[in-house]
Chains A and B, each alone.
Chain A
Amino acid sequence: MLKTILKATVFATTLAVSAGAFHVPAFAEVVYNRGSAAEPESLDPHKTSTIYEANVLRDLFQGLVMQDEKANVIPGAAESWTVSDDGTVYTFKLRKDGMWSDGSPVTAEDFVYAFRRLEDPATGAEYASMLYPVKNAEEVNTKKGKPEDMGVKAIDATTLEVTLKAPTPYFLEMLTHQATYPVNKASIDKLGADWVKAGKLVSNGAYTLAEWVPNDHIKLVKNPKFWDADSVKIDTVNYIPTEDRASAIKRFEAGELDSYDDLPTEQLADLKAKFGDQIKVGPYLGTYYYAIKTDKAPWDNVELRNAISMAIDRDFLAEKVWQNSMLPGYSMVPPGIEGYTPALAKYADMSQIDREDEAKKILEKLGYTPEHPLKMEIRYNTSENHKNTAVAIQEQLKPLGVEVTLLNTDTKTHYSFLEQKGNYDVARAGWIADYKDPETFLGISRKASGNNYSDFDNADFEKAMDKAAAAGGNPQERMKDLADAERILVDNVGNIPLLYYSYHDIVSPKLHGFVDNVMDVHPSRFISKD
């Protein structure tokens, strides 16, 4: 023990002395302790699914395109690209100075290899669908086609040609997803599954992976081989998972964390009072909704679904249950996507009292009163706020003659029940955008979607969605078609949208370049610290 203390003292003295010796700020190592609410699952871009991996991988790798500090698409490993007139062939010109952290050049072949690996069934990639717009990609992934037939080709070392099935205006947005990042073939061939280990991982982004102690920290250090290394101001980024949000705030206050990507929202008002503009809350591309079985009596009645949806007081949910960490939601697509105006439910402008009266009238007409109530079960996955939301809705619907019972299960049970099309009435669900496009929110209500938990099946909606897909080459027309599709979905109450998500971060004033945006994307590359 004494030895340890001695060692620590000597070490501290050395540090103090060396810090004094290098009294030039430019030489001081800049360390960013970046708190996150959860541990990433895998740092293999092809095996990831959560935003916690996305944040780390965005620092480690460079896809063809990337996102800037405002989440806009910017060139990444590709310095430029052209799109054929029919919108199906993308030709990417890779930057000549693009380099892997082992010093080898990033080539078009690397992308061909990575795209094939993502679709290879043996990889077991959860996000293989991110490249489904590419010709034959889905076929490869579902074992109906050969990898060589995929629409991805290296014309020469720095020219990559990607052929799509059909024009897909959001393809570049999809390419910002971490599943489309390149991986280093040489190191995978050499190391097998161990290629992702800290110290071995070869990456092409602003940082390299130095350490990963699960549930403790992931240490990234600046990659000197990165083509834009000169502009990277943070030398070391420590991703520090802190699951307990109350602890995380204390760690932030004590200076152990420079930022944290979640907040104990039940204390939001107090936190705002205490931390002022260090608390960042704003709209995030996510929708919190209830799926309702549209193919099961009595929920197959549009009028009935509409009455239920109309009667729910979303302002109350947002303010009282979620402490304004969520916003009242009246559409499936949340606001914030450029060029798109969400189709709000028709009653969105009515006062709550009018809505309740209207809903009561409809329910009475259908024969439901407090004396002869309609029975409805709400299923939700374990979470204090999901419970409080369901309880609030239970109370709101009671005077209208709807007797709500609640059923709570753990997350895995909940979603496996939904996936197997179990016999439920209403079930909680949420959808967070994978890329910035309305399609990601509307596609889940298509008949064939595995996420169509309402069993919504509407020919007009399908037609409108197909029309939007066909209008791929004309973005403005496509957005209009998508809005038409959403209008049909919302008017037919294919789901009951309740709230829009918001991002909620706490950020030290020492950090610069942590810019608010609807994707809550903050590449460390653009951040600096005083």
Chain B
Amino acid sequence: MLLYVLRRLLTAIPTLFVIVTLAFFLIRVAPGGPFNQERGLSPEIKANLEAQFGLNDPLWVQYLRYLKNLSQGDFGPSYNLPDFTVGELFAKGLPISIQIGASALVLALLLGTLLGIVAALNQNRTGDYAVIALATAGSTIPTFVIAPIIQLVFGLTWKLLPIGGWGDGALVNKIGPVLTLALPQIAIVARLMRGSMIESLRSHHIRTARALGLSDWSIVVRHALRGAILPIVSFTGPAAAALLTGSIIVETIFAIPGVGRYFVDAALNRDYTLVMGTVVVIAIFTIVFNLIVDIMYAVVDPRVRYD
């Protein structure tokens, strides 16, 4: 198992290298640069700016320099927020995005799994219909609708939560963003769980367990759940990578200083170093979470072995 993990981590290095290389050249293909704006700069001033950031060197020189700095953990300065390095921006923003994303994920997994089981056990009865209705609503109402509704109801009308802001990480400031992020995920998890649970409950070993006269509780929790949880495990990997790296919609509407907004803003601003930083971070999260999912498989399902 340890060998397997090591091997997977080693293969991640060339994968990262390919991703970094592709991203580096792709963003340069986009027209315009970090210093194009409404108020055009004179060629001399633009040249001064480009020289300051080394953008006047040939592209391959910039590429090699970037790789060298990256290998030392230096992501370079942000062009659009020059008072901060990309590393500093992530050091400040990523923990915030992770807190919001992780809370939403845990909430989604717990609540979604529970709702899914309830629905499966009450298949085609009221409880099932209620969960399906909730899940359909949760996955079809976009976050940019949910978020303002939460602000209006909980913030302005009931005055229970602040409208926006991080408030140095106060609990009340997190509730709105976490709920908004979690709702669609709860819906997905509930639907997945319902489907796989129904299937699991029909399988041979469950029928055997019932024939042996085991209690309902024991059948569901100890036997059916184990088989049914696998789709949730596969879902969790990419979902975690996406949630923990922030959401531009939730962060913009709730004015949360996470890193979600950088993915879009950096590309639109041609903030090359920040674009690269976000690419590297997402790539690492995706690789790591896929690995965790594969390990989890082995833990949950005795049929899976990596030796």
Contact = CB atoms under 8 A, between A and B. Distances in A.
A415 B81 contact: no
B37 interface: yes
Interface in A215-243: 215-217, 240-243
B155 A254 contact: yes
* Chain B interface helix/strand/loop/mixed: loop
B45 A141 contact: yes
Interface in B28-70: 30-45, 48-49, 51-53
A412 B43 contact: no
Interface in A242-280: 242-244, 246-247, 250-251, 253-254, 256
Contacts of A241: 255
A412 B165 contact: no
Point out which of B48, B53, B152 has the most chain A C-beta atoms below 10 A from its C-beta.
B48
A42 B268 contact: no
A64 B143 CA distance: 49
Given A412-B33, A450-B43, A216 B159 contact: no
A413 B155 contact: no
Interface in B163-221: 163-166, 171
B162 to A, nearest CB: 6
Interface stretch (A155-163, A165-173, A319-327, A416-424): A416-424
A247 B180 CA distance: 15
A415 B32 contact: yes
B37 A243 contact: no
Point out which of B42, B43, B151, B270 has the most chain A C-beta atoms below 10 A from its C-beta.
B42
Given A122-B52, A247-B255, A250-B156, A450 B41 contact: yes
A411 B37 contact: yes
B223 interface: no
Contacts of A457: none
Given A213-B257, A244-B253, A413 B84 contact: no
Contacts of B36: 411-412, 415-416, 419
Given A216-B165, A412-B268, A247 B32 contact: no
B148 interface: yes
B38 A247 contact: no
Contact of B38 (A126, A409, A430): A430
Contacts of A4: 171
Interface string B136-160: 0000000000001001100110010
Contacts of B251: 215
Nearest to A253: B156
A403 interface: no
Contacts of B92: 213-214
Nearest to B258: A215
B27 to A, nearest CB: 11
A247 B148 contact: yes
Nearest to A249: B163
Nearest to B84: A214
A214 B253 contact: no
A358 interface: no
Contacts of A128: 45, 48
A315 interface: no
A153 interface: no
Count class of interface residues, chain A? 35 or more
Contact of B255 (A123, A244, A414, A432): A244
A214 B80 CA distance: 12
B240 interface: no
B261 A215 contact: yes
B254 A247 contact: yes
B286 interface: no
Contact of A125 (B31, B45, B51, B255): B45
A253 B157 CA distance: 11
Given A4-B171, A124-B48, A213-B92, A42 B83 contact: yes
B82 interface: yes
Contacts of A39: 81
A383 to B, nearest CB: 11
A44 to B, nearest CB: 7
Contacts of A185: none
Given A214-B92, A251-B163, A246 B269 contact: no
A254 B156 CA distance: 6
Contacts of B53: 124
Contacts of A419: 36, 40
Nearest to B259: A215
A251 B176 CA distance: 14
Nearest to A382: B268
Contacts of A44: 82-83
B112 interface: no
B116 interface: no
Interface string A88-129: 000000000000000000000000000000000111111011
Contacts of B155: 250, 254
Interface in A43-84: 43-44, 47, 49
Given A214-B89, A247-B148, 4 more contacts: A216-B166, A247-B253, A247-B254, A430-B38
Shortest Cβ-Cβ A-B pairs, 5 listed: A412-B32, A416-B32, A124-B52, A216-B257, A215-B257
28 contacts: A42-B81, A42-B83, A43-B83, A44-B83, A49-B37, A49-B39, A125-B48, A143-B44, A214-B93, A240-B165, A244-B252, A244-B253, A244-B255, A247-B148, A247-B164, A247-B254, A250-B148, A253-B156, A253-B163, A410-B268, A413-B31, A415-B36, A416-B36, A418-B40, A419-B40, A430-B38, A432-B38, A450-B42
Interface of B: 30-45, 48-49, 51-53, 80-84, 89, 92-93, 148, 151-152, 155-156, 159, 162-166, 171, 251-258, 261, 268-270
